[in-house]
A = this chain, B = another copy of it.
């Protein structure tokens, strides 16, 4: 059944792809088998990360880029990473609306990914999802994330090219850059470029880039767009293409992708260890008592955590069920 599902994904069947992504999200034990069969067929897609603070028009940018790619005959996969409320657990409505727009076009596959249960950052499962979309034959994969400061750093680990979007009116833009975003962008987009201050912001970003030490590396482009009016979109795609050529020529593309596979493995181990620990805590009386003591102040949290890990027998029992 696993092989059958994988073969249908490889054949480009969208329902099979969708089901595979759900299996990954839920930690379905069969997901590993599917991914193993898909993996040899990966490596042909190009992955673009698009990030920036809320309100800069990322969704419109992604939509317009998808339209542009479709007009060139390329197939597109979109992973929209949604910040979700820890209370409702639901994704934002936006993507439902967008879904409808591309409904009749089989060449665009859109999937919302909730960040449920993680305190910011990119869900680790996104790396696995990108590989599934890759195997399903999408030419370009667009990963859209919201963030500011450190939040978008995760996008570096997922995308071949990273686009950071800003607007002239978000007065925070330069502060955002300073907060560590500068190093992650391969291209800067000043969206809503018809508004006051767009050229000024573009100049400020360019000046910051000139001050930075980029010796021997890629010199990030700064582009002006008006996504809503479809202005600057083909130039953006050309800019991404230039970065892609640079990466290919310098061997950077291969390096990024190897590193991505490595971190996918490590992050999956970490996440799954945590999931098993939580599950075990629910079942194990001794640990249950320890947690109650910690809550009730008769045991100290930090020291008890270290003690648990220093005790091999206990640890093995906690995470794997006995050894």
Whether A312 contacts B303 by the Cβ 8 Å rule is no
CB distance from A268 to the nearest CB of B (A): 4
Chain B positions within 8 Å of A85 at CB level = 180, 182-183
**Proximity bits, A12-42, B CB within 8 Å = 1, else 0:** 0000000000001000010111011001100
Interface of A toward B, CB cutoff 8 Å = 24, 29, 31-33, 35-36, 39-40, 43, 53-55, 83-87, 92, 115, 118-122, 127-128, 131, 146-154, 156-157, 169-172, 175-176, 178-180, 182-183, 258-259, 261-262, 264-266, 268-270, 272-274, 276-278, 281, 291, 294-297, 300-309, 312-313, 315-316, 319-323
Chain B positions within 8 Å of A301 at CB level = 35, 127-128, 261-262, 264-265, 268
For A120, give its contact among B43, B153, B323 (CB under 8 Å).
Answer: B153
Chain B residue at minimum C-beta to C-beta distance from A54: B175
Whether B306 contacts A316 by the Cβ 8 Å rule is no
Chain B positions within 8 Å of A24 at CB level = 302
In the bound assembly, the distance between CA atoms of A289 and B55 in angstroms comes to: 45
In the bound assembly, the distance between CA atoms of A147 and B312 in angstroms comes to: 38
Chain B positions within 8 Å of A32 at CB level = 300, 302-303, 306-307
Whether A294 contacts B308 by the Cβ 8 Å rule is no
Chain B residue at minimum C-beta to C-beta distance from A305: B268
Question: Among A259, A305, A306, which residue has the most Cβ atoms of chain B within 10 A?
Answer: A305
In the bound assembly, the distance between CA atoms of A79 and B72 in angstroms comes to: 52
Whether A258 contacts B296 by the Cβ 8 Å rule is yes
Whether A272 contacts B309 by the Cβ 8 Å rule is yes
Chain B positions within 8 Å of A309 at CB level = 269, 272-273, 276, 319-320
